[in-house]
Amino acid sequence: MEFRQLQYFVKVARKQHVTQAAEELHVAQSAVSRQIHQLEEELGVQLFVQKGRNLQLTPVGRLFLSRVETILTDLERAVGELHEFLDPELGEIRIGFPHSLGISLLPTVVAEFRKSHPNVRFRLRQGTYASLIKDVVDGKVDLSFISPFPENHDQVSGELLLSEELYAILPPGHMLAEYQMITLDQLKDESFVMFSELYSLRRIVMDACKKAGFTPRIEFEGEETDTIRGLVAAGMGVSLLPEMALTESSPLMPAKVRVSDPQVTRTIGLIRRGGGEKLPLVAEMFRRFLIDFFQSK
């Protein structure tokens, strides 16, 4: 069994298509097919079945994929740690983040860090609350921004970086759009544009509405702050978004109004794998930088 075979197998499993996998690997399609066939022969099992134009993992293929991904991740991390031991300034930081922090916070801190460490590379992995925790636990990232910050979790540890206020966003012509501040129950009869259930911001908004005495009527769902913001600006409903997601300007922007009673906030933290495991040197440098960066704000 060769390392190259495992790489090809993982790529085909992710793309579910030999041609697309070959294109990303920059090799001939026949080479990928040959390596997969040889791997199946050596293992004595069928890893894929044809389904239309795509390939689908068999049950044993799914089991094998989970093990191979762990092996490749550990090997990749070992190579990275070796390079970082020789020179942390040439290392790579693998960091996860939720979409809402990718608009301004992540680019800001990465740019600031690279002023002092210009040769450090970043590998970014976007995800939802649950997937980001899993990525940290599985070792797919060294660190992850997360919101809300998990105060007590048996598999990850970390630091609370900041709390951020959520604002009501309204169509520009809405009767409350010119107010300086509103109470949340003033929106109880409105249609809401909400994040899907995979996203922690949805739970924060739902809990706040419940505290205000109502259950929001959800008209539209989305998975990105840009989508939520655009739908509200187009008059499809109202929503609540973090201030950080409202810094960007575009031709179609909703009105932004502060909310009281209850004030709605979210926590943002940085997590790493628990159990006292040491971070790679370059990741530890970045962690300490982030703590100092947010403490100085």
Cis omega before residue 280 (within 30°)? no
C-alpha closest to that of 179 among 253, 187, 204: 187
Please give the pLDDT value at position 77: 76
pLDDT tier, 86 (very low <50, low <70, confident <90, very high otherwise): low
* Residue bearing tokens 């109004």: 257
Could you tell me the fold of the domain covering 3-71? Arc Repressor Mutant, subunit A (1.10.10)
Per-residue pLDDT tens over the stretch 151-198: 888 899 999 999 999 999 999 999 999 999 999 999 999 999 999 998
CATH 3.40.50.410 fits 92-297, yes or no: no
Per-residue pLDDT tens over the stretch 195-223: 999 889 999 999 999 999 999 999 999 88
Q: What is the mean pLDDT of the chain?
A: 90
Cis omega before residue 59 (within 30°)? no
Please give the pLDDT value at position 85: 64
Q: Where in the chain is the domain with CATH 1.10.10.10?
A: 3-71
In contact, 242 and 164? CB cutoff 8 Å: yes
Rounded mean pLDDT, 9-18: 88
Please give the pLDDT value at position 209: 96
**Length reported for the chain:** 297
Per-residue pLDDT tens over the stretch 234-266: 999 999 999 888 877 677 889 999 999 899 999
Give CB contacts under 8 A, 24+ apart, made by 283-288. 283/91, 283/93, 283/94, 283/142, 283/143, 285/88, 285/117, 285/120, 286/93, 286/95, 286/113, 286/120, 286/143, 287/143, 287/159
Structure tokens at 291: 């703590």
CA gap 98, 200 in Å, rounded: 9
Please give the pLDDT value at position 247: 77
Rounded mean pLDDT, 92-113: 92
CA gap 20, 203 in Å, rounded: 37
Rounded mean pLDDT, 45-74: 88
In contact, 104 and 248? CB cutoff 8 Å: yes
Rounded mean pLDDT, 228-232: 92
Structure tokens at 284: 């530890």
